[in-house]
């Protein structure tokens, strides 16, 4: 069964600092990998996705993620965070066969001035 682990429940960074959110997955083959962001009271917005090919994926809002098969990881990065990046971030994995999207428990990002 597929699963996702986001080891950091809550991360606080200063505005302008760099950010890395961790995500580890468990799946027997190469999965489809996603990062979603949820602002308070809002729905889920897709930041980026990985299906195959280049392991460094660029997304919206200046985010990028790197797929590392050897580490079963898909960490999200941003070189300089903005106050508007404060939100809940979810990593997710999908099986190419049944399209079931499984989410991690999320990481809450707080930005301090």
- Give contact residues for other proteins (rule: CB under 8 A): 32, 34, 36, 38, 42-46, 49, 51, 88, 90, 94, 96, 98-103, 105-106, 108
CB of 13 to other proteins, least distance (A): 19
Which of residues 13 and 104 has its CB atom nearest to other proteins in the complex? Answer: 104
Which of residues 38 and 75 has its CB atom nearest to other proteins in the complex? Answer: 38
Which of residues 70 and 98 has its CB atom nearest to other proteins in the complex? Answer: 98
Q: Is the dihedral angle over the CA atoms 43, 44, 46, 51 positive or is it negative? A: negative
What spatial distance separates the first Cα and last Cα of the chain, rounded to whole Å? 41
Bridge partners of 34, per DSSP, are: 49, 92
Cα atoms in the 13 Å half-sphere on the side-chain side of 78: 25
């Amino acid at each position: 069964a597929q699963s996702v682990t986001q080891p950091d429940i809550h991360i606080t960074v200063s505005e302008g600092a760099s950010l890395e959110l961790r995500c580890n997955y468990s799946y027997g083959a190469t999965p489809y990998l996603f990062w979603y962001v949820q602002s308070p009271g809002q729905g889920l917005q897709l930041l980026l996705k990985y299906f195959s090919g280049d392991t460094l994926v660029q997304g919206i809002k200046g985010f990028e993620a790197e797929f590392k098969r050897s580490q079963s990881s898909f960490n999200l990065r941003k070189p300089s965070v903005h106050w508007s990046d404060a939100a809940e971030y979810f990593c997710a994995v999908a099986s190419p066969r049944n399209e079931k999207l499984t989410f991690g428990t999320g990481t809450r990002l707080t930005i301090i001035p």
